[in-house]
Amino acid sequence: MMRSLFCSLLLLVIPSLVFADPIIVAHRGMIQHAPENTMVAFRTCLQLGIGIEVDVRRSSDGHLICVHDSTVNRTSNGRGLVSALTLRQLKQLDVGSWFHPSFGDQRVPTIDEILKEAAKHRHRRVLIALDLKAADVEADCVQLAKKHGVLSRVLFIGSTITSAGVRSKLYAADAKASIATVAHNHDEFLKAVKEPRSNWVYFRYLPSADELLKVHSSGRRAFIAGKTVAGRQSKNWRLTARIEMDAVLTDFPLELAKQLRTAQSRYRAQDRAAETKGTTKMDQQFQEIAERYLDESMRHSPVGATATGDHRFDNVIDQVSEEARAAERKMINGLLKSLADITRGQLSRDNQVDFLVLQRALEKQLWQLDTLKEWQWNPLVYTRLAGGSVYNLMARDYAPVAERLKSAAERMQQLPRLYAQVRETLNPKLVPPVHAQTAAKQHRGVLSIIDNMIRPKMDEVDEALRKELTAAIEVATKAVEEHQQWIDAELLPSAAGDFRLGPRMYDQKLEHTLGTPLSRQQIRDLAERELKRVRAEMYEIARPYYAKQNPSEQLPDNPSDELQQKVIEAVLEIASTDIPASDQVVATVIESMKTTTDFVKERDLVTVPPDPLEIIEMPEFQRGVSFAYCDSPGPLEVGQKTFYAVAPLPENWTQEQATSFLREYNIRSIHNLTIHEAMPGHFLQLAHSNRHPSQLRAVLWSGTFVEGWACYTEQVMSDAGFLDGDPLMRLVMLKWYLRSIANSIMDQAIHVDGMRRADAMKLMMEDTFQEEREASAKWVRAQLTSTQLSTYFVGLHEHFSIREAAKKEWGDEFTLKRYHDAVISFGSPPPQFVRALLLGEAIE
């Protein structure tokens, strides 16, 4: 399987005559993530709106091809001069496996192929820098650029461009060609800015603001490359933006994009608003409030900021004292007061959505602080905070390892303070026993993060930092062990709270969680109707299999409940015997990822982003709630991986328990899990979501929309004939749908109606055919959480409702891909807002 490459990036819009953010140009493609000068690297850049630098040479039979060196020795499995090989010989070379075996299908691209690909991305205003490595290629390059209609986006650079003769040939080929003159120092700059046959200055040093002013005053534009900007040089990158450099060539385009994105978020948001209505003073006033929220909320939650992708506070752990809660309350009330001054109807449609998203988020945050008061009875909040404080620093390579380890050392030194505040804050008598028991298990995993993620990296840094880390680990270890003793000796014996919310609190939380007009009773009625309908469909699928095994039995169209149960269980048994080995679950998930991705692309169901995904073993401190989850990079991150985390089977399980679990997660179930968590579920949708320019909407995403999409895609894949339309796969998918239905029924039945474990287990194991291990784990999860389990079914219902409305509105122009690409293009706001934006309905 070709390894996908990158994560979320705000697509850059570069006005043609406005000197704002520099255009980003990727040196030979994304060389940190893919083999240089290959189509996969170039195509990914173009999809993300990043420019490309392309090395131009000529084969022995006259074709223009892309290879950097004069020989093929370094970047292929062949040897020899590029100029001595024919195109056919070059095309036989493997130019990807040297980077990674998964790129073994990559071949030497022609300039014609590259420019043809660039022409497909006309909506991306990217720069194509052709680095002329060979002589006498000027006219052919110009003609190919004109052939594909991209001449206006091509800039001619390279070592040969220093020749006045080369510049003259380019100019003669077409006077509209963008031609650079190289300047290695100020003296060369003075000549370049007067060169009659060029309209760009190609800086190989960091120029001054005065020099850039002279470039622009002469009607030229400025391009920079070389050692001052090629690496992760944030200071120099900031300077290029400040002096209004037009384009920057770098080895780290995603990191540069992140820096520019943070600095220019206000302008992008205003541009987005202008597309729909035109920026107004009210829009600008709202954007200032939104930016204030993003800044202040990150300051109040440094660990959350790290997870989100804001790394200003990576060396700080949250304060959880009463003073901190008072400060948070003051922040929320101040922002709500500012929002009250906004006339929502005067905002652009996008900002109307963001206004409501922010307003409701603040109201929810205040309700959690003053009404739900989870801070005083849920120890899991703090277990995840302690574990996440280190894990989020080390899980992704967003910065050099030394920088991240330095932050980790400082955070580990703060763990004693955090734990002291936690012990002061938690009221053991209010803590439900199940929460205390789960916290006791999870908290032990904090030390495993240090052992598995910090210690192995210590040899990569200097001695001073190693000493700092050693001291910090000693402090952290002692703090974790002392807190574990407190949990075991004081919290567990004293925990006496009720995990059930009760009807008033549950209904309030349900409204905050779902963001939908559906009431608790409406959800219950809809779920119970669907439970009957889906079981009837499962019976129809199972009937032929059962009849083949039991030819003498009568199988009526309207069976009794007992017969329906027996037939469905018998045929699910067939599927449940196809299980992975207990030590091959992760390997099976990896293979499933390939299968699902290939099918989505083959059926062209939705655009597949080129973002990176890694399947990992779930960290210990996050186990005990679910078997798998999708951990996407924070919405403010650029170029980081998504983790599809899978929990290993607990070592203390009996063989009977392990078998029960594997029967639930049989091969077909693992396919359905992968569809939900990754392709085309969470991974794909969140990758699209993070491309939306609203940072506010990215941070305050709707669980109903996100979980609903993942459940919706399970049915989309089945309807499209996944696994060649295998009826057993359809049956397993419907079993998963029953799980979502049961989740929504059980969620409210437990917290409002007092449902007991025996009744919950019957609903799961009999009515919805779940195995004992899955049902037992879900019972624990339902106690630990509330209302979240309803997001799956409600979100799925909302997604199908939006699709039906779009089909009616679009008529013959409706296609699944058009619909899917559109519906996930708005970020992840509540479904009702997506519907309004998609169909032009009122935003309420």
Determine the length of the chain: 844
Tell whether the model's pLDDT for residue 453 goes beyond 80.
Answer: yes
Question: What residues have CB less than 8 Å from 316, skipping those under 6 apart?
Answer: 302, 410, 411, 414
Give the pLDDT confidence score for residue 659 in this predicted structure: 87
| Window from 200-209, 353-362, 620-629, 728-737 with minimum mean pLDDT | 620-629
- Rounded Cα–Cα distance for residues 843 and 279 (Å): 18
Q: Report the percent of the chain where pLDDT is more than 90.
A: 72
The Cα diameter of the chain in Å comes to 97
Question: What residues have CB less than 8 Å from 31, skipping those under 6 apart?
Answer: 41, 251
Mean pLDDT of 497-517: 96
Kindly report, residue by residue over 656-715, the tens digit of the pLDDT.
Answer: 888 888 888 999 999 999 999 999 999 999 988 877 878 899 899 999 999 999 999 999
- Rounded Cα–Cα distance for residues 640 and 611 (Å): 8
Tell whether the model's pLDDT for residue 275 goes beyond 70.
Answer: no
Picking from 75, 52, 42, 72, the residue whose alpha carbon sits closest to that of residue 60 is 72
483 is catalytic: no
DSSP 204: S
| Window from 168-177, 250-259, 263-272, 326-335 with minimum mean pLDDT | 263-272
Picking from 380, 384, 390, the residue whose alpha carbon sits closest to that of residue 472 is 390
- Rounded Cα–Cα distance for residues 791 and 704 (Å): 5
Helices and strands: H and E segment counts in the chain: 37, 12
Question: What residues have CB less than 8 Å from 99, skipping those under 6 apart?
Answer: 34, 35, 36
Catalytic residue among 27, 443, 671, 820: 27
Mean pLDDT of 167-182: 91
DSSP 270: H
- Rounded Cα–Cα distance for residues 692 and 679 (Å): 19
- Rounded Cα–Cα distance for residues 601 and 598 (Å): 5
- Rounded Cα–Cα distance for residues 172 and 178 (Å): 12
pLDDT band at 727 (very low <50, low <70, confident <90, very high): very high
Q: What is the CATH number of domain 24-263?
A: 3.20.20.190
- Rounded Cα–Cα distance for residues 141 and 147 (Å): 10
Report H helices in 640-786: 655-664, 667-677, 682-689, 695-699, 703-719, 722-725, 727-751, 757-762, 772-784
Question: What are 644's strand-pairing partners?
Answer: 615, 630
Kindly report, residue by residue over 775-809, the tens digit of the pLDDT.
Answer: 999 999 999 999 999 999 999 999 999 999 999 99
Q: How close are the terminal C-alpha atoms of the chain, in Å?
A: 44
Give the pLDDT confidence score for residue 626 in this predicted structure: 67
Give the pLDDT confidence score for residue 270 in this predicted structure: 43
Kindly report, residue by residue over 286-308, the tens digit of the pLDDT.
Answer: 999 999 999 999 999 999 999 99
pLDDT band at 624 (very low <50, low <70, confident <90, very high): low
Task: Give yes or no for a contact between 806 and 838, defined as CB atoms under 8 angstroms apart.
Answer: yes
E strands, 280-423, are: none
Is-cis flag, bond preceding 680, omega within 30?
A: yes
Backbone angles phi and psi of 794, in degrees to 5: -65, -45
Question: What residues have CB less than 8 Å from 67, skipping those under 6 apart?
Answer: 37, 55, 57, 75, 82, 90, 108
797 is catalytic: no
Tell whether the model's pLDDT for residue 85 goes beyond 60.
Answer: yes
Catalytic residue among 33, 63, 68, 820: 68
Question: What are 71's strand-pairing partners?
Answer: 81
CA–centroid distance for 208 within its chain? 38
Torsion of CA 546, 549, 553, 559, to 10 degrees: -10
Give the pLDDT confidence score for residue 266 in this predicted structure: 40
Q: Which element (helix H / strand E) includes 429?
A: none
Tell whether the model's pLDDT for residue 498 goes beyond 90.
Answer: yes
Give the pLDDT confidence score for residue 124 in this predicted structure: 52
Q: Which element (helix H / strand E) includes 821?
A: helix 816-823
DSSP 460: G
Task: Give yes or no for a contact between 28 and 55, defined as CB atoms under 8 angstroms apart.
Answer: yes
Q: Report the percent of the chain where pLDDT is more than 70.
A: 94
- Rounded Cα–Cα distance for residues 248 and 255 (Å): 12
Backbone angles phi and psi of 762, in degrees to 5: -65, -45
- Provide the sign of the torsion angle of the four alpha carbons 223, 227, 230, 232, taken in this order: negative
Give the pLDDT confidence score for residue 217 in this predicted structure: 86
pTM across the whole model? 0.72
| Window from 12-26, 221-235, 370-384, 756-770 with minimum mean pLDDT | 12-26
Mean pLDDT of 425-444: 97
Q: Where are the domain boundaries for CATH 3.20.20.190 in the chain? A: 24-263
3-state secondary structure of 343: coil
Give the pLDDT confidence score for residue 238 in this predicted structure: 84
pLDDT band at 641 (very low <50, low <70, confident <90, very high): confident
272 or 693: which leads in pLDDT:
693
Full 3-state SS string of 61-112 = CCCEECCCCCECCCCCCCCCEHHHCCHHHHHCCCCCCCCCHHHCCCCCCEHH
Tell whether the model's pLDDT for residue 47 goes beyond 50.
Answer: yes
Give the pLDDT confidence score for residue 261 in this predicted structure: 65
E strands, 543-656, are: 613-617, 628-631, 642-646
- Rounded Cα–Cα distance for residues 579 and 575 (Å): 8
Tell whether the model's pLDDT for residue 126 goes beyond 80.
Answer: yes
Burial (Cβ within 10 Å: 0-12, 13-18, ≥19) of residue 603? middle
Tell whether the model's pLDDT for residue 433 goes beyond 90.
Answer: yes
Give the pLDDT confidence score for residue 158 in this predicted structure: 85
279 or 757: which leads in pLDDT:
757
Give the pLDDT confidence score for residue 613 in this predicted structure: 86
Mean pLDDT across the chain:
90
Backbone angles phi and psi of 305, in degrees to 5: -60, -45
Question: What residues have CB less than 8 Å from 293, skipping those under 6 apart?
Answer: 335, 358, 362, 696
Radius of gyration of the chain (CA): 29
- Rounded Cα–Cα distance for residues 521 and 790 (Å): 12
- Rounded Cα–Cα distance for residues 271 and 284 (Å): 11
Tell whether the model's pLDDT for residue 267 goes beyond 50.
Answer: no
Tell whether the model's pLDDT for residue 474 goes beyond 70.
Answer: yes
* Two tokens, residue 148: 């594909």
Give the pLDDT confidence score for residue 622 in this predicted structure: 66
Burial (Cβ within 10 Å: 0-12, 13-18, ≥19) of residue 303? buried
Identity (one letter) of the amino acid at 169?
Answer: K
Tell whether the model's pLDDT for residue 1 goes beyond 60.
Answer: no
